[in-house]
Amino acid sequence: MWDQILQFLLTGVTLGSTYALVALGFAIIYNASDVVNLAQGEFVMLGAMSAIALSAGEGLALPLAILLAVGVTLVVGLMLQRFAIAPAKGITVVGTIIITIGASIFLRGLALLLWGKDIHALPHFSGETPLRLGEVTLLPQNLWVMGGTALLVLTVHLFFNRTLVGKAILACSCNKTAAQLVGINVGRMLLVAYGLSALLGAMAGVLVAPITYTSYDAGIMLGLKGFAAAVLGGMGNPMGAVAGGLLLGLVESLAAGLISSGYKDAIAFVILLLVLFLRPSGLFGRATAERV
């Protein structure tokens, strides 16, 4: 029984790590501009798909292909901000969110045209021989996902708390006007935020693609789960988003294993609703009071 539960927990942490990285991307852009970037899932798909295209299609070595794929997605993220979000200056937050929906549909269509409807797989980074710990097994790729996520989360944490640029982004989220008054270039900070989100999304995509496969529409579901995780943890709190992602992954896996696989998504979303009902700002979000 304990072996079984340990297996569920391991599965949950792997799943949760993916959700956490997507949620982190949501949180960063939300932090900088109060906007929910609904093209976040497409960054994940783009990272994975371009890595596959570069390694399998162009015959590049895997590490080089991954590096280039992350670079490509980064550029797409920057272009999204520069050519779609920035020109719509002064538009409401809802308006910007709608632009990101448009961008997500556009990116999906582009991927469909470039790479077709087929499902693709990326080779595992270090083989497929499962590692055994008693009755519990995991793939080397699971360790890559968990380790990669931990490293990225730590880097993002340090970036926001120890560097000037990171602090400047936080300043923009607190008060745009005040940030501008002390000499922060708000536009450039937004550009950095989108770039960072795209980077994280692409990394997540590349890390999980060997296990989960990918296709042009893989971003929809991942985006949705990542968004749920971000809301669960408290929108705008990067570490809360990570915790939300891990929690969502664990709940899904335990629900599928111990209760019913048919209802695992329902159980996960019921817990999400309960949390929002009892704590509307999410588990780790600060309660916001609006002055009227």
Partner 1 sequence: MKFTQLISSIACAGLLAWAAPSSAADTIKIGSFLAVTGPASFLGDPELKTLQLYVDEINQQGGLLGKPVELIHYDTGGNAKEAVNFFKRLVKKDKVDIILGGSSSGESLAVMPLAEEEEIPFISMAGAVKIIEPVQKWTFKTPHTDRMAAAKIYEDMKRRGITKVALITGDGGFDKSGREECLKLAPEYGIEIVADESYGNKDTDMTAQLTKIRNSGAQAILNFGFGTGPAIVTKNVRQLGIELPLYQSHGVASKKFIELAGEAANGVRLPAAALLVPEKLSDDDPQKAALLAYKQKYEAAHGDVSTFGGHAYDAFVIAVEAIKRAGTTDKAKVRDAIEQTQGLPGTAGIFNLSATDHMGLGLDAFKMLQICGADWVIVDETAEGAGLAAAGGDKNCG
In contact, 93 and 29? CB cutoff 8 Å: no
- Written as one letter, the residue type at 119 is I
Among the candidate windows 97-105, 116-124, 152-160, 191-199, which touches partner 1 by CB under 8 A? 116-124
Pick one of 89, 118, 164, 183: the residue that binds partner 1 (CB under 8 A): 118
Residue 18 or 81: the one with the smaller Cβ distance to partner 1 is: 18
Contact partners, residue 196, CB within 8 Å, separation at least 6: 25, 28, 156, 159
Structure tokens belonging to residue 162: 């120890």
Closest to partner 1 by CB, 198 vs 208, is 208
**Number of residues near partner 1 (by CB under 8 A):** 35
Q: Quick one: which of 196, 208, 228, 268 contacts partner 1 (CB under 8 A)?
A: 208
**Span 48-107, contacts to partner 1 by CB under 8 A:** none
Binding partner 1 (rule: CB under 8 A), the pick from 257, 269, 271, 279 is: 257
- Distance, in Å, from the CA atom of 187 to the CA atom of 263, rounded to the nearest integer, reads 44
Binding to partner 1 in span 6-25, by CB under 8 A: 7-8, 11-12, 14-15, 18
> Which position among 64, 109, 265, 274 is part of the footprint of partner 1 (CB under 8 A)?
265
Contact residue for partner 1 among 69, 169, 199, 218 (CB under 8 A): 218
Give the CA count within 13 Å in the CB-facing half-sphere of 170.
14
Are the beta carbons of 28 and 197 closer than 8 angstroms? yes
Which of residues 254, 268, 272, 275 is near partner 1 by CB under 8 A? 254
Give which of 2, 10, 270, 32 is closest to 172, Cα–Cα. 32
Q: Which of 89, 117, 162, 291 binds partner 1 (CB under 8 A)?
A: 117
Of 29, 45, 57, 76, whose CA–CA distance to 227 is shortest?
Answer: 29
Beta bridge partners of 133: 136
What lies within 8 Å, CB to CB, of 19 at 6+ separation is 222, 225, 226, 228, 229, 244, 245, 246, 248, 249
Q: How many CB atoms lie within 10 A of CB 22?
A: 31
Residues 129-158 that bind partner 1 (CB under 8 A): 130, 132, 137-139
**CA 143 and chain centroid, separation:** 18
- Determine, following the binding rule CB under 8 A, whether residue 162 of this chain makes contact with partner 1: no
119 binds partner 1 (CB under 8 A): yes
Footprint on this chain of partner 1 (rule: CB under 8 A)? 4, 7-8, 11-12, 14-15, 18, 117-119, 121, 128, 130, 132, 137-139, 208, 211-213, 215, 218, 220-221, 252-254, 256-257, 261-262, 264-265
